[in-house]
Amino acid sequence: MELTRRDALVALAAAGSVGAGVAVDERFDLSFDDLPSTAPPDPEETPPPVVLDTLTAAAEVLYPSQVDGHRPFVETFVLGRIEGRQSYLEGMVETTRELDGLADSWYDAPFSELDPVVRDRLLRELGVETADPDPEGPISERVRQFVVDDLLYAFYSSPTGGRLVGIENPIGHPGGHESYQRASMEGEPEDGDDDDG
């Protein structure tokens, strides 16, 4: 399955952002090219390419193996996520650079150049899997905050990611009256099964 920039925009809308000033409406089948263009991002408010390399490499480990299109999805989500959040951008840049430094120290290559199996091992060795997210904590907690949690949120709140894991209506997707009605009725007792006997 192919993750797209539009998937990322829907995930941004679910996160309370609209991704570089673009509103996404699920009722229309828009391609990314159909969306309004925006001004180029300010270089001071854009992560260096190496940061996007690291985040994309992490997504390749975190997302199911049948998913493609990591780079455009990650790039679009990250650019929308950091818009107007300078301190968040600084935390992300510092954390990914530190992760790269550890990868180079432990495995002689930046994180993005490691084999996916080794990337996964490194994250586990750091204790990221069980760490609590904290933007000011030790490296394991910052990686959990700025890398793992954000990337997983983006994936599971996107239409493609939601379909892949069986979530009919990802977070932020209204679903419509029929879906709401069906979900509500599934929890109701059948005739003769109520609490009154």
pTM score, whole prediction = 0.72
Give the pLDDT confidence score for residue 173 in this predicted structure. Answer: 45
**pLDDT band at residue 30 under the 50/70/90 scheme:** very low
Q: Is the pLDDT of residue 193 over 70?
A: no
Give the pLDDT confidence score for residue 48 in this predicted structure. Answer: 81
Give the pLDDT confidence score for residue 81 in this predicted structure. Answer: 83
Give the pLDDT confidence score for residue 148 in this predicted structure. Answer: 95
DSSP assignment of 126-186: TTGGGPPP-TTS-HHHHHIIIIIIHHHHHHHTSHHHHHHTT-SS-TT---HHHHHHHHHHH
What Cα–Cα distance (Å) separates residue 109 from each residue in 93, 94, 147?
Answer: 18, 18, 19
- The answer to whether the beta carbons of residues 143 and 124 sit under 8 Å apart is no
Q: Determine which of 3-12, 109-118, 143-152, 177-186 has the lowest per-residue pLDDT on average.
A: 177-186
The structure tokens listed for 36 are 């309004």
Mean pLDDT of the 36-43 span: 41
Give the pLDDT confidence score for residue 170 in this predicted structure. Answer: 46
Mean pLDDT of the 12-27 span: 54
**pLDDT band at residue 161 under the 50/70/90 scheme:** confident
Give the pLDDT confidence score for residue 47 in this predicted structure. Answer: 74
DSSP state of 75: H
Q: Is the pLDDT of residue 175 over 80?
A: no
Give the span between the Cα atoms of 21 and 172, in whole angstroms: 17
Mean pLDDT of the 176-188 span: 40
**pLDDT band at residue 187 under the 50/70/90 scheme:** very low
27-52: buried (b, 16+ CB within 10 Å) or exposed (e) per residue?
Answer: eeeeeeeebeeeeeeeeeebbeeebb
68 SS3 class: strand
Mean pLDDT of the 27-52 span: 52
What Cα–Cα distance (Å) separates residue 184 from each residue in 149, 163, 178, 187, 194?
Answer: 30, 20, 10, 6, 16
Give the pLDDT confidence score for residue 138 in this predicted structure. Answer: 96
Q: How do residues 47-87 score in pLDDT, each as one tens digit?
A: 788 899 999 999 999 999 888 889 999 999 988 888 878 88
- The answer to whether the beta carbons of residues 113 and 120 sit under 8 Å apart is no
State the greatest distance between any 2 C-alpha atoms of the chain, in Å, as a whole number. 69
Mean pLDDT of the 126-134 span: 94
- The answer to whether the beta carbons of residues 120 and 111 sit under 8 Å apart is no
